[in-house]
Amino acid sequence: MAGRPRKVPPVPVPSGQKFCFKCMTAKPVDAFALDLATWDQRRTICRSCDDARYRAYYARRRWQQTKARLEATFTAPAAPCIPRSTPKTTGEPRPVQ
């Protein structure tokens, strides 16, 4: 099966450990999430680096959504002024109380 070559860690990694290509450290295999599509069935970055990546992604998305909502609020045209409806008159004078 042809594919791209595997990443090779720049330092030797002891058995029972795996190299995180994000923080560039060797960690126990349990520190890596499962990924059944890879040759060793583990992700290439550790859980802590992956969590930090997701936190940054969701913070960035939350800011983009807030910014879009604020821009829509301040750039939206003002609502047209609709005069209050006046009560219908029958043409007869109102009785004096």
The domain tally of the chain equals 1
CA distance 20 to 17: 10
Q: 58 lies in which domain range?
A: 17-74
pLDDT by residue for the chain (97 residues), tens only, comes to 567 788 888 889 999 999 999 999 999 999 999 999 988 899 989 999 999 999 999 999 999 999 998 888 877 666 666 666 666 666 677 777 6
Tell whether 7 is covered by a domain: no
Question: What DSSP string runs through 71-96?
Answer: HHHHHSPPPPP-PPPPPP--SSPPPP
| Predicted local confidence at residue 64, as pLDDT | 92
CA distance 44 to 38: 9
CA distance 46 to 53: 11
Tell whether 37 is covered by a domain: yes
Tell whether 11 is covered by a domain: no
